[in-house]
Structure 1
């Protein structure tokens, strides 16, 4: 039987892998629906940004009319939860967070759009007689989210591949909820980990763990201010007093944060000013690591690690609230912001919620995360790599979401009956940790499916990688190769 594949592939390297898959499979594989960049049949981001940009086959919404094809999803018991997940993922391209933003404003707008997009996608899957669906990352960008929801409701076999932090290794699964669900395997060699050694987090380069003098406004920040004014405030840009006030406000923020922290390096919006004003108010405090405390480093948002893998705890304030509820009197929660975070999901009410928790102390940006980890009773995170760093250092970790490392020694997964004593009684058995990582590596697949991770692979050969990844992904789709992670019993 010919595999009639629907795929989300938006990067050049995954497009090459897809082409190699077609060459290797011949007539056994027919890519009948592809959302990707402008060279693909349909431009994926035109759905999340609601733009008229077309792919080679036009725009997905051309000739759109109600079909009822998504009715299995609409009638499902999980429909309202999934609709809210889609709305959350659409928010990342809202006007306060992206220059090329969609026009949706209220809850009903998001709900209506979800209904329309799912109906359209379901009609395409049905019309094109799709038999299998492939994602080159965990769905989290709204257009892939809707496709995943529809494909799941229609009962189509799904394959998801996503890169791991291990050089040249990637994960696979059928459901994002399966991430990290790995059975112990004592038949493989343990993976040696020097206790206390730190993983290579190349994407955190330039981030320091020390106090230093304030920074100065950067050319990048001025460029983003100009972009904001041209796209969002054209008439106000003609008012010199308005522009001068913005520049002066930005300068105050830069001066109040360490010079390695560039708050407007990626984006500027007026709403960001309030967020960074709040951050600067924490900079001059003394960091007290005495007594018993839990370290909770916030994760960057919007990101797959929270929006797709955090479940209800994509609301990180809620995770901190639940954590506070199990702590005995006198145990503090030390919260540190992600050094790359902007104002997204960090409005005044977020900080008000944290302020309502007596045990919470919000730390300055320069607080040393390694010292915090070393002195903590345990580290808590939704899915962040801080938990992975913690268990490597011998400190237990509590995770609230589907962290890839959640089944390793020293990790406790949140559940409603969890107690403080249960978490602090957890020990990091280092040999068991090495054995678990060995089993995890053995269940991974060789190759790079996320181009950003090629830099940590020695002597990376792009052509050989594409051919190898294509063979593996084909095997995952046909079932000849087992997924890294499978549903938990």
Structure 2
């Protein structure tokens, strides 16, 4: 029997996956973390499983069903490579910039005690993550598993909704190789649209989110943002009263536990005005692209999100990436930097990872041009010498147009022809020299053969049904396939 944890596994599809794992493959699900709304369903179907809500786990709330581990200097020294990333990830818990470094470090220690204790108590054979761990508690657990040699399979997606692939860690191993096999029709259509510069290269979760908030025409007005927030506040108060919403990660600076309804709404209303202020700061620092100016295009990632932390590692610090590129660009080249369209939307939590100094530091580089958010990305991509990104879809969109990419993180396409994987300053120097000489552009045939290999490596599946436009995907069949893929990792 395989003893397993399911971590950050929410929604009906994961209940079906778990059911298939237990009935068909003999797994024992000892511990499960998921959405708070899933608790009753999970415990009704898996009576011996201990369930913890993701948000409770992230905030380390409540008593655990296991004794907490003793943490000493030896353990912390082995965890030191991940400590900084975990502390920076805590931006997503921060309520109005009140989570101090000292409090974050104390929270990190608490999470180590809790999740090292869980491993000591249950002795799992495998710890399954729905995708790259990024809600801090799961990242700490992942690091402990890696340290102990416990397998950590997780799913990842590319830009085509309804398809996923399995990997053994955040870093991979990456998809590699080429295939001359014909592309499946759905992949062929996706590639054709991407090569034409269409919106298929835009992440499907962002497409769906933009449609949900009717943002395809630009930023929401102040009036609309305030009306939305008022209606949201009324709904949450009716459902939860003065207690914080059960699905909230936000930490109260007053109690160290989940932020109350009043604290949360006060912070969200303040954030609307803060993001409008940041948008004005950004606008004052921007300038339009110039004709015939050679440039590398860097599209900033939305933060806080897993695309940067943990998937870009130390390059999750986008100011570090900008500084490196600025220093190493060939003479006469510019770095064009464009903010993510979701970062300063009133419905986002983008204020957690931006301030005025962030934009001023970018603009201070003489060879860096901050672009207005309204500038169309499609011609920018088509005219770039290269695309620089952590894990973003814009890198893939550029490759589809024959534009090379400098990839700083664990992007699904990072082994594709035309990609330079960046680990060091020397990698950037070599990549830019090759690109300047004209020897790096991928051909359409190379892209097609690479994508054919990717298609052969993927299975039907979904990571977040609520935010992925999966169309006609048969969720029960997908769940069975995902369960079989997980079970195969233990043979």
In the superposition, the TM-score normalised over structure 1's length comes to 0.78
Judging changes above 3 Å, is the alpha-carbon distance between structure 1 residues 326 and 174 closer, same or farther for their aligned structure 2 residues? same
Match of 1:33 in 2: 31
The equivalences for 1:62-211 within 5 A come to: 65-68=68-71, 73-76=75-78, 79-96=79-96, 105-178=99-172, 181-186=174-179, 188-189=181-182, 192=188, 193-194=191-192, 195-198=195-198, 200=200, 201=202, 202-205=204-207
Q: Is the 8 A contact 1:228 1:268 kept in 2?
A: no
The equivalences for 1:146-295 within 5 A come to: 146-178=140-172, 181-186=174-179, 188-189=181-182, 192=188, 193-194=191-192, 195-198=195-198, 200=200, 201=202, 202-205=204-207, 216-224=221-229, 268=271, 271-281=274-284, 285-295=287-297
Per-residue CA deviation, residues 387-428 of structure 1 (Å, 9 max, x unaligned), is 000010111111111111111111112233132212333121
Q: Is the 8 A contact 2:387 2:394 kept in 1?
A: yes
What CA distance in whole angstroms lies between the structure 2 residues aligned with 1:197 and 1:301? 25
RMSD between superposed Cα atoms in Å:
3.1
Deviation at 1:447, TM superposition (A): 2.5
SS in 2 for 1:334: strand
Match of 2:5 in 1: 6
Which residue, 401, 404, 409 being the options, matches 1:396? 404
Deviation at 1:294, TM superposition (A): 1.4
What CA distance in whole angstroms lies between the structure 1 residues aligned with 2:458 and 2:269? 33
What CA distance in whole angstroms lies between the structure 2 residues aligned with 1:212 and 1:18? 41
Match of 1:438 in 2: 452
Per-residue CA deviation, residues 234-256 of structure 1 (Å, 9 max, x unaligned), is 9xxxxxxxxxxxxxxxxxxxxxx
Judging changes above 3 Å, is the alpha-carbon distance between structure 1 residues 173 and 216 closer, same or farther for their aligned structure 2 residues? closer
Judging changes above 3 Å, is the alpha-carbon distance between structure 1 residues 213 and 403 closer, same or farther for their aligned structure 2 residues? closer
Q: Which stretch shows the higher mean deviation, 440-449 or 132-141?
A: 440-449
1:464 aligns with 2:469: no
The equivalences for 1:12-31 within 5 A come to: 12-25=12-25, 28-31=26-29
Deviation at 1:89, TM superposition (A): 1.6
Higher helix share: 2
Match of 1:359 in 2: 367
Match of 1:447 in 2: 461
1:310 aligns with 2:312: yes
Q: Is the 8 A contact 1:73 1:154 kept in 2?
A: no
Judging changes above 3 Å, is the alpha-carbon distance between structure 1 residues 287 and 24 closer, same or farther for their aligned structure 2 residues? same
Deviation at 1:177, TM superposition (A): 1.2
What CA distance in whole angstroms lies between the structure 2 residues aligned with 1:401 and 1:215? 31
Match of 1:421 in 2: 433
Judging changes above 3 Å, is the alpha-carbon distance between structure 1 residues 373 and 49 closer, same or farther for their aligned structure 2 residues? same
Judging changes above 3 Å, is the alpha-carbon distance between structure 1 residues 24 and 33 closer, same or farther for their aligned structure 2 residues? same
Unaligned runs of 5+ in 1: 53-58, 98-103, 235-263, 480-489
SS in 1 for 2:476: helix
SS in 1 for 2:352: coil
Per-residue CA deviation, residues 36-81 of structure 1 (Å, 9 max, x unaligned), is 22305111211323544xxxxxx43x7865534x8774242xx223
What CA distance in whole angstroms lies between the structure 1 residues aligned with 2:315 and 2:221? 35
Per-residue CA deviation, residues 179-200 of structure 1 (Å, 9 max, x unaligned), is 6x23324464456433334352
What CA distance in whole angstroms lies between the structure 1 residues aligned with 2:113 and 2:220? 50
Q: Is the 8 A contact 2:67 2:121 kept in 1?
A: no
Judging changes above 3 Å, is the alpha-carbon distance between structure 1 residues 32 and 50 closer, same or farther for their aligned structure 2 residues? closer
What CA distance in whole angstroms lies between the structure 1 residues aligned with 2:480 and 2:299? 39
What CA distance in whole angstroms lies between the structure 1 residues aligned with 2:476 and 2:69? 43
Q: Is the 8 A contact 1:158 1:174 kept in 2?
A: yes
Judging changes above 3 Å, is the alpha-carbon distance between structure 1 residues 344 and 288 closer, same or farther for their aligned structure 2 residues? farther
Q: Is the 8 A contact 1:133 1:159 kept in 2?
A: yes
Judging changes above 3 Å, is the alpha-carbon distance between structure 1 residues 138 and 383 closer, same or farther for their aligned structure 2 residues? same
Judging changes above 3 Å, is the alpha-carbon distance between structure 1 residues 397 and 315 closer, same or farther for their aligned structure 2 residues? same
Q: Is the 8 A contact 2:336 2:371 kept in 1?
A: yes
1:349 aligns with 2:357: yes
SS in 1 for 2:105: helix
